[in-house]
Structures are given as structure tokens and as C-alpha cells.
Amino acid sequence: MTESDGPDGLPARRLLLVHAHPDDESINNGATMAKYAAEGAHVTLVTCTLGEEGEVVPPELAHLTSDRDNILGEHRIGELAAAMRELGVTDHRFLGGPGLYRDSGMMGAPQNERPDCFWQADLDEAAGHLVAVIREVRPQVMVAYDPNGGYGHPDHIQAHRVAMLAADLAAEPGFRPDLGAPHAIAKVYWNCVPRSAAEEGFARLRAAGSNTGFAGVASMADVPGVVDDDEATVAVDGSAYVGRKAAAMRAHATQIVVDGPFFALSNDLGQPLFAVEYYRMVRGHQPAGRAGDLFAGTEV
Ligand SMILES: [Zn+2]
């Protein structure tokens, strides 16, 4: 099903998500992406790096890492494509093309200093690549990270900066007219998890106890973007799509192990896998009360 009553033959509802590494989209927004894609909205994912510096969970793939064969980035292009098939999302791109910006590693790592890493990127240049996408797909809604990138990873912080700058520049007629007609994004959200939802998830996880196969349980600090409940403006109920979200997360097999309603990253500490995904609106008009739709209040 495709909506086709928007301008220039575009689907009526258009959602853009900006992420740092392959896997972030499925963990944060997998159910949301599957839901809107299934409903006929145009969903565009822009991923800023290939995640070359990630750790690898399966021992048989451990040779892919940057300190060994250094081909994890290429491998993760395939994982991301498989995840997008699970979510029904056909428009996924890498910022400026695959491999233009390299994963910067964790904050303080020597990889932060590499001239080709995303952390060292020229902001205007990186934003320009995103402006081209914004002016092409003309989204009403953009989802990005908060200024701390959710949890302080340099690529997540940089993805926030690039997304917010690009949203401004895309609307300015004077900026790079060669990149298309100006477009103002009606609503901008940052990913978040309300504290009570995170606490409830960890309570479920502790109750499951040794029934999960993980080495231990993560802490609240491991959940990106935890906010006070009243800051979570929109709750997208993705319950009908949580199976697709889990399948997409499994497609990122070097990064994630899924076990029922829980998952773990390379530290093997269990975290809740959220069926309801939350968003904090930072730009746009919001109808009263917590909405269930990212497009609420936009004229579509
Ligand atoms: Zn990431």
C-alpha cells in the first residue's frame, strides 16, 4: 500500500530518521519504521557511518573487526539492508554515500582523531549531504538524537548536530539552491525513553531472571535518552510490529543478540526491547496530550 496524494507524486506522509550506525535505527525506531512503512508512509533512513569500529558478538565473525581484517563496515552494509527488508523500508542511504564518514569509536578512543572519522567531519559539508536528502524527500517529520546523542557516543552527538543544522539549512532559500527547493520540516523529534517505561522494562527483565541467556542485566545508564515521563511527547505503539523489530535487530547479527522481549549488545547485558517507542518533540505544533502519531498536528 502506498499513499500517493502528496506533492510531486510523493506519498502523503514522509518520515526521515537520522542515525549514527547501522543497528541504531532498529533498536530505537524499528517498530515505528515498520508501522509507518506498512501504512504507506515514505520512510527514509540516513545512516551516517558504517559502524566500522563496532565490536562483534559471534566468535566466527570476530575477524571482521577494525583491529583484525577491518571489513566490518562492508559487512554491516549487508546487515542493514537485511534489517530494512524486515521493516519494509526501501529508502535507506548513507550520509554522502557509504564509507564517506568513518565510525569514530567511543569517546576518547584514538579513532576520534582520524581525519576521515565522522567526529572530525566538517559540519556544513556533512549537513549539506543531508540537506540534499531533505529537499528531495521533503519529510514532514524528522527523528534524530538529543544533543548528547542519547548516551555520549561521538557519532551520535555528531549525528544530532548534523541533523539539526541540516533541518535549518534545508529551509533557507539562500543555502545551496543547487540542492533543490527549500523545505521546512514541520516536526522534529528526539529519540527518548520515559523513565517509567525503562524501569518497567528492567523490572520485567529481572523477573525473567535466569530464563534469559545473558550474562547479566544492563543498567538504566545503558538505555539512551532516558527522560522524565512528561518530556516524552509521542508514544508510538508498535506492538503489532514488534516481531519485525526483533527480526531487524537480529539481522544486525554482529551487534545484537535478541532473546524474546529482551536483547543484549556485545557486553552481553540484557536490556528490554521496547514495543512502544517514544519521542520528544522539539519543533512543531503538538495537539494536547501525549499523541500516538508522529504526524499529529501536521497538515497531511
Ligand atoms: Zn550507534
Residue 10: the pLDDT is 85
Residue 286: the pLDDT is 79
Least confident of 135-139, 152-156, 209-213, 258-262: 209-213
Least confident of 130-134, 221-225, 254-258: 221-225
Least confident of 4-8, 86-90, 205-209, 252-256: 4-8
Pick the more confident residue, 197 or 287: 197
The secondary structure of the chain in percent helix, strand, coil, rounded to multiples of 5, reads 40, 20, 40
**Alpha-carbon distance values, 67 to 63, 72, 128, 229 (Å):** 8, 10, 32, 41
Residue 291 confidence class, pLDDT cut points 50, 70, 90:
confident
CA of 289 to the centre of ligand 1 (A): 31
User: What is d(CA 80, CA 179) in angstroms, rounded to the nearest whole number?
Assistant: 27
CA of 156 to the centre of ligand 1 (A): 6
Q: What is the mean pLDDT of residues 60-82?
A: 97
Grid cell, residue 32, equals 515505528
Position 1 pLDDT exceeds 70:
no
User: What is d(CA 252, CA 107) in angstroms, rounded to the nearest whole number?
Assistant: 23
Residue 7: the pLDDT is 59
CA of 47 to the centre of ligand 1 (A): 10
Position 8 pLDDT exceeds 80:
no
Position 292 pLDDT exceeds 90:
yes
Query: Long-range contact list for 88-93, CB < 8 A, 24+ apart?
Result: 88/34, 88/37, 88/38, 88/244, 89/33, 89/34, 89/37, 89/43, 89/45, 91/42, 91/43, 91/44, 91/45, 91/137, 92/44, 92/45, 92/46, 92/47, 93/44, 93/45, 93/46, 93/47, 93/133
**Alpha-carbon distance values, 46 to 97, 108, 153, 263 (Å):** 10, 25, 17, 24
CA of 20 to the centre of ligand 1 (A): 5
CA of 299 to the centre of ligand 1 (A): 32
Residue 3 confidence class, pLDDT cut points 50, 70, 90:
low
CA of 59 to the centre of ligand 1 (A): 21
CA of 21 to the centre of ligand 1 (A): 5
Position 2 pLDDT exceeds 80:
no
Question: Could you tell me if 212 and 260 are in contact, meaning their C-beta atoms sit under 8 angstroms apart?
Answer: yes
Q: Give how far the C-alpha of residue 131 lies from the chain's centroid of Cα atoms, to the nearest Å.
A: 18
Per-residue pLDDT of 179-237, as tens digits, reads: 999 999 999 999 999 999 999 999 999 998 878 889 999 999 999 999 999 999 999 99
Q: What is the mean pLDDT of residues 79-98?
A: 98
Does 21 show up as a binding residue in the annotation?
Answer: yes
Identify the residue whose cell numbers are 523513565. 195
Identify the residue whose cell numbers are 527518548. 192
CA of 237 to the centre of ligand 1 (A): 23
% of the chain surpassing 90 pLDDT: 91
Does 116 show up as a binding residue in the annotation?
Answer: no
CA of 83 to the centre of ligand 1 (A): 15
Residue 113: the pLDDT is 96
Position 105 pLDDT exceeds 90:
yes
Least confident of 53-57, 93-97, 116-120, 206-210: 206-210
Task: With CA atoms as reference, report the closest residue to 233 among 185, 294, 282, 281.
Answer: 281
User: What is d(CA 18, CA 162) in angstroms, rounded to the nearest whole number?
Assistant: 9
Residue 284: the pLDDT is 93
CA of 120 to the centre of ligand 1 (A): 16
Task: With CA atoms as reference, report the closest residue to 248 among 15, 18, 25.
Answer: 25
- Burial string for 178-201 (b: 16+ CB within 10 Å, else e) reads ebbebbebbbbbbbbbbbebbeeb
Average pLDDT over all residues of the chain = 95
Task: With CA atoms as reference, report the closest residue to 27 among 143, 187, 161.
Answer: 143
CA of 210 to the centre of ligand 1 (A): 28
Residue 133: the pLDDT is 98
Question: Could you tell me if 225 and 192 are in contact, meaning their C-beta atoms sit under 8 angstroms apart?
Answer: yes
User: What is d(CA 155, CA 59) in angstroms, rounded to the nearest whole number?
Assistant: 26
Question: Could you tell me if 131 and 175 are in contact, meaning their C-beta atoms sit under 8 angstroms apart?
Answer: yes
pTM for the model: 0.96
